[in-house]
Amino acid sequence: MSRSEAKKIFERPRSHFPKVLIHLLLKPAAALGLIFIAFVMTACSSLPEIKPPGPGLQPILLEWCQSIFPDAPHQFVHAIEARLPDDSRATAMGIVTLDPARGIIHCVIMTIEGFVLFDARYQQAVTVNRAVYPFDSPEFAESMMADIRLVFFPPGKALVTTGVLDKGFPGCRWQTADGLAVDVLLNQRLGWVIRQYDTSDHISRQVRAYALNPEGIPEKIELSHYKFPSYTLKMTLLQVERLPQGDGRLN
């Protein structure tokens, strides 16, 4: 069975959707992505059961789950709208340069006027090159890098299982080095959701990626942090560049 055939198996049949959603399926892909995300969001707020996939599907599912993460050095530029705990909003631009093979992240956050607020590099540990209040705390730097790792890097080497969640979405479950569970939930056309759970198996962070461009890169990403201080980052892709191996900007 090919990977595309396997994906079709996991495409949720339309007949299972309520009528209103069938109607919305005729809308643009971005709307579909939101529906998918809404489904996943309401699926469960704690660690859900994953049912085993059909025979022979486990490696295909794993490959699919891993395919959502960049497999080569890339640079992403996003417009970022932050929704803060008091429901206020702030906007910035973000540049993320990363090398998945070496686990390197270089992150820059700047104002729309181009003033650099935060510039840091991660390779096993965070090195802050520049940080302007209120982005100057070590906790912010650590949390920022954790957010970026969750969005762009596979969750860990310890794959727990692959299968189908209770709402019918295929996915994979990893365990991080810290012992936390991370689920990746997939939809072939609409995007994906990444959930990180805390030690009590409640969702602590969630990434929703949708509006995929022709290369399969999400033009919209929403990252929600549910623990205090809770926030949501809405990221809109402005430009993306695949970098050559050994690019000097990653050294």
* Binding stretches for another protein (CB under 8 A): 75, 77, 79, 81, 84, 86, 88-91, 93, 95, 97, 106, 108, 110-117, 130, 132-136, 234, 236, 238-239, 241, 249
Nearest distance from residue 244's CB to another protein, in Å?
10
Full DSSP string of 57-83: -HHHHHHHHHHTS-SS-EEEEEEEEEE
Q: Among residues 17 and 140, whose Cβ is nearest to another protein?
A: 140
Nearest distance from residue 106's CB to another protein, in Å?
6
Q: Among residues 43 and 117, whose Cβ is nearest to another protein?
A: 117
Q: Among residues 51 and 249, whose Cβ is nearest to another protein?
A: 249
Nearest distance from residue 132's CB to another protein, in Å?
3
How many Cβ atoms from other residues are within 10 Å of residue 186's Cβ?
21
Per the omega criterion (within 30 degrees of 0), is the bond before 134 cis?
Answer: yes
Nearest distance from residue 147's CB to another protein, in Å?
18
Q: Among residues 96 and 186, whose Cβ is nearest to another protein?
A: 96
- Distance between CA atoms of 37 and 224, rounded to whole angstroms? 13
What does the DSSP 8-state code read for residue 230?
P
Q: Among residues 40 and 108, whose Cβ is nearest to another protein?
A: 108
- Distance between CA atoms of 186 and 192, rounded to whole angstroms? 5
Nearest distance from residue 14's CB to another protein, in Å?
28
- Distance between CA atoms of 82 and 233, rounded to whole angstroms? 5
Encode 125-148: b = buried (16+ Cβ within 10 Å), e = exposed. Answer: ebebeebeeebeeeebbebbbbbb
